[in-house]
C-alpha cells in the first residue's frame, strides 16, 4: 500500500504526478460506479435493504444528489451515512496547514491563496485520509451559526487583525468539511435561522458572520436524516433547504422475521466466559425477532416513535445473559437460552418503546402478551401439531412438569423417558443433543402447547408447572 510519505509533498510534485482534482460528488459517483460494476454493495453491513433502500441510494449517488434519509429510530440511517465515507478516495491532497481542506489547484481560503501565490510549485502539500472527510452534527435547538459556519475569533482580533479581515474567522463544521461529506442528523430540530445560514453556505456560497460577508465556494456533499413525521410537519424545515436535497430516501424496519433475525445475529455482542459455549436455537432467536415485529403492529405501542431494531438486539443480548447467569450458577459449560429466560426481557424492552395512554401497571401486561404471542407464532411455524398428540396424551396420566430459569439442564433430560413423543419434537427443532439444548427445546414445546390451549400452566415466581387440561 502506498503511504503518505510516498506521495507528492509539493504542488509541483503533485502536478508532475498527474493528480486530477475532482468535485466530491464526482469522486463519490465514480467510486460508486466502480463498486456497482464489480458487483459490490455501495454500503456494507446493512441487512434487509438490498431491494429497497440501496437501489435508491445507488441512483442518488450516480445522480450526484444531496440525500436525506427519512425513517424512525433504529433503521440504520446513521450507519449508511457513515459508510458513505468509503466511497471517497483513500487520500486527498490539501494545501499544508489549511483549515478547510483547500484544493491545491483551486484554494478558496485567504490563507491558502496567499501561500500558493507566494510559493507557487513549492507550496507544501498535506494528505488527508478519507476517515477525516466526514463530519457529523446532531441538530439540536441550541445549535448555533458558530457551530456550523463559524465565528470571529477574539484572540485573532486581539493580535491586531481587523474584524473585516477574513483571517479573524474561526471556521465551523461546514467549512472544515470542505471537499468532504457533511451529515446532519435530525435536521428538523435545527432552528429556522440556523437553517437559513446553512442554506446560504450550501446554495449561495457565502458566509455572513457578524455582518462581515465573504464568498466561500465550498465543495460539499450534504447528507441528512430525519423522522418522517417531523420532516413533513409544516414549519419544521424551511422549504428552500428542503428543496436542496435531490433525493429523499425512506428507510424501514426489517420487513419480515427472517431479516430481523439476520440483523440481530449480525449486530448482537455476546460475551462468552472462558471455557463456556453459547448456542442460541433458531426458535429462540425467532421469538426475539417476532416480539419486535408484533410490537410494530400493536395498537398499544406508539408507532410514531417506532420500535427500533436495537430493541431486538438488546433483547437477544439480555436473553443470552440470563442463560449465562444460570449456567454459571449451576456449573454448566453450555449456554442455551430457554423460554423461561424471556421474563428477563422486560428490562431491555420497556425503555425502547413508548406506550399509548394506558392505565398504570398495564405496561407489564402488554409486554407479557407480546412475548406470549411471539412464542405462539414461532411455535406454530416450527412444530408439526400432528407429532405432538402423543405428548399431550401422556399428560393425561397425571404427569406434571416443572420448569424455571434456575433449574439445572440435567433435570430436563430425565423427562424424556416420561414424555413419549418429546424426542420426535426435539429432532424437528434441531437443538444440540446436550442437556442444555434438550432443556431449551422442552420448555419451548411445553409453552407452545400451553399457548395453543392444549396444556394447563401454573406460574408462580419465575417457576412454571405444566399439566393436562382439566
Alpha helices in 395-455 (DSSP H): 410-413, 422-429, 435-451
The verdict on 244 and 332 lying in the same domain is no
pLDDT reading at 241 higher than 70: yes
Q: What percent of the chain has pLDDT over 70?
A: 91
The verdict on 279 and 207 lying in the same domain is no
The verdict on 202 and 273 lying in the same domain is no
The verdict on 279 and 208 lying in the same domain is no
Beta strands in 198-322, from DSSP E residues, in sequence order: 206-209, 212-215, 220-226, 247-250, 277-278
pLDDT reading at 393 higher than 90: no
Q: How far is CA 434 from CA 284, 438, 439, in A?
A: 16, 6, 9
The verdict on 327 and 415 lying in the same domain is yes
The verdict on 450 and 383 lying in the same domain is yes
pLDDT at 1: 38
Please compute the mean of the pLDDT values over residues 397-402 and round it to a whole number: 84
Mean pLDDT of the chain: 87
- By three-state DSSP, how is residue 416 classified? coil
Quote the domain boundaries for residue 308.
257-468
pLDDT at 221: 93
Contacts of residue 404, Cβ cutoff 8 Å, sequence gap at least 6: 340, 462, 463, 464
pLDDT tens column, 122-150: 999 999 999 999 999 998 888 888 888 87
Pairwise CA distance, residues 348 & 319, whole Å = 9
The verdict on pTM exceeding 0.75 is: yes
pLDDT at 26: 96
pLDDT at 2: 43
pLDDT tens column, 285-315: 999 999 999 999 988 888 888 888 999 999 9
Confidence of residue 217 (pLDDT cuts 50, 70, 90): confident
Domain final residue pick, 250, 276, 295: 250
Q: Total structural domains in the chain?
A: 2
pLDDT reading at 324 higher than 80: yes
Closest Cα partner for 285 from 342, 213, 242, 350?
342
pLDDT reading at 205 higher than 80: no
Confidence of residue 207 (pLDDT cuts 50, 70, 90): low
The verdict on 145 and 276 lying in the same domain is no
222: CATH: 3.40.50.300
Domain final residue pick, 222, 250, 278: 250
pLDDT at 155: 62
Pairwise CA distance, residues 371 & 295, whole Å = 10
Contacts of residue 77, Cβ cutoff 8 Å, sequence gap at least 6: 69, 71, 185, 225, 251
Higher pLDDT, residue 433 or 32:
32
Mean pLDDT lowest for which of 9-18, 170-179, 206-215? 206-215
The verdict on 126 and 193 lying in the same domain is yes
- Alpha carbon 341 to chain centroid distance? 26
Task: Region of 459 please: left (phi>0), alpha (psi -120 to 50) or beta.
Answer: beta
pLDDT reading at 158 higher than 60: no
pLDDT at 5: 60
For residues 256 and 290, the answer to whether their CB atoms sit within 8 Å is no
pLDDT at 355: 83
pLDDT reading at 235 higher than 70: no
pLDDT tens column, 63-83: 999 999 999 888 999 999 999
Confidence of residue 342 (pLDDT cuts 50, 70, 90): very high
pLDDT reading at 278 higher than 90: yes
Pairwise CA distance, residues 94 & 371, whole Å = 56
Please compute the mean of the pLDDT values over residues 442-465 and round it to a whole number: 89
pLDDT at 19: 93
Higher pLDDT, residue 152 or 276:
276
Task: Region of 120 please: left (phi>0), alpha (psi -120 to 50) or beta.
Answer: left
Domain final residue pick, 204, 227, 250: 250
Pairwise CA distance, residues 428 & 387, whole Å = 10
For residues 127 and 93, the answer to whether their CB atoms sit within 8 Å is yes
pLDDT tens column, 15-43: 999 999 999 999 999 999 999 999 999 99
Higher pLDDT, residue 167 or 429:
429
Amino acid at each position: 500500500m502506498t503511504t503518505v510519505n510516498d506521495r507528492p509533498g509539493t504542488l509541483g510534485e503533485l502536478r508532475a504526478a498527474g493528480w486530477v482534482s475532482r468535485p466530491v460528488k464526482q469522486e463519490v459517483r465514480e467510486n460508486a460506479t466502480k463498486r456497482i460494476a464489480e458487483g459490490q454493495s455501495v454500503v456494507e453491513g446493512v441487512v434487509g435493504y438490498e431491494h429497497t433502500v440501496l437501489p435508491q441510494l445507488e441512483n442518488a449517488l450516480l445522480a450526484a444528489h444531496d440525500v436525506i434519509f427519512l425513517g424512525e429510530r433504529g433503521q440504520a440511517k446513521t450507519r449508511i451515512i457513515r459508510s458513505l465515507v468509503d466511497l471517497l478516495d483513500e487520500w486527498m491532497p490539501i494545501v499544508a496547514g489549511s483549515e478547510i481542506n483547500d484544493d491545491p489547484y483551486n484554494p478558496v481560503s485567504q490563507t491558502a491563496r496567499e501561500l500558493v501565490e507566494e510559493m507557487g510549485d513549492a507550496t507544501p502539500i498535506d494528505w488527508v485520509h478519507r476517515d477525516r472527510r466526514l463530519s457529523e452534527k446532531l441538530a439540536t435547538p441550541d445549535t448555533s451559526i458558530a457551530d456550523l459556519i463559524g465565528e470571529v475569533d477574539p484572540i485573532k482580533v486581539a493580535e491586531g487583525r481587523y474584524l473585516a479581515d477574513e483571517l479573524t474567522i474561526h471556521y465551523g463544521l461546514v467549512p472544515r468539511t470542505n471537499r468532504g461529506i457533511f451529515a446532519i442528523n435530525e435536521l428538523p430540530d435545527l432552528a429556522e435561522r440556523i437553517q437559513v445560514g446553512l442554506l446560504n453556505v450550501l446554495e449561495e456560497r457565502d458566509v455572513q458572520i457578524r455582518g462581515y460577508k465573504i464568498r466561500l465556494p465550498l465543495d460539499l456533499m450534504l447528507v441528512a436524516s430525519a423522522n418522517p413525521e417531523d420532516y413533513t410537519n409544516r414549519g419544521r424545515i424551511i422549504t428552500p433547504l428542503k428543496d436542496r436535497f435531490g433525493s429523499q430516501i425512506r428507510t424501514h424496519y426489517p420487513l419480515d422475521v427472517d431479516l430481523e433475525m439476520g440483523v440481530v445475529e449480525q449486530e448482537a455482542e455476546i460475551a462468552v466466559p472462558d471455557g463456556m459455549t453459547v448456542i442460541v436455537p433458531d426458535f429462540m432467536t425467532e421469538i426475539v425477532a417476532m416480539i419486535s415485529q408484533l410490537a410494530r403492529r400493536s395498537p398499544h405501542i406508539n408507532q410514531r416513535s417506532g420500535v427500533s431494531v436495537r430493541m431486538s438486539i438488546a433483547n437477544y443480548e439480555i436473553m443470552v445473559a440470563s442463560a449465562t447467569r444460570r449456567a454459571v450458577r449451576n456449573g454448566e459449560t453450555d449456554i442455551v437460552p430457554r423460554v423461561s429466560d424471556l421474563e428477563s426481557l422486560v428490562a431491555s424492552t420497556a425503555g425502547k418503546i413508548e406506550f399509548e395512554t394506558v392505565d398504570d401497571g398495564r405496561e407489564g401486561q402488554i409486554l407479557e402478551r407480546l412475548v406470549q404471542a411471539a412464542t405462539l407464532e414461532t411455535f406454530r411455524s416450527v412444530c408439526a401439531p400432528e407429532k405432538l398428540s402423543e405428548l399431550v396424551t401422556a399428560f393425561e396420566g397425571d404427569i406434571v412438569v416443572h420448569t424455571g430459569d434456575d433449574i439445572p439442564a440435567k433435570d430436563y433430560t430425565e423427562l424424556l423417558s416420561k414424555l413419549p413423543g418429546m424426542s420426535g419434537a426435539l429432532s424437528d427443532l434441531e437443538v444440540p443433543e446436550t442437556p442444555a439444548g434438550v432443556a431449551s427445546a422442552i420448555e419451548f414445546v411445553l409453552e407452545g402447547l400451553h399457548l395453543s390451549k392444549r396444556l394447563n400452566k401454573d406460574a408462580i415466581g419465575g417457576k412454571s408447572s405444566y399439566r393436562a387440561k382439566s
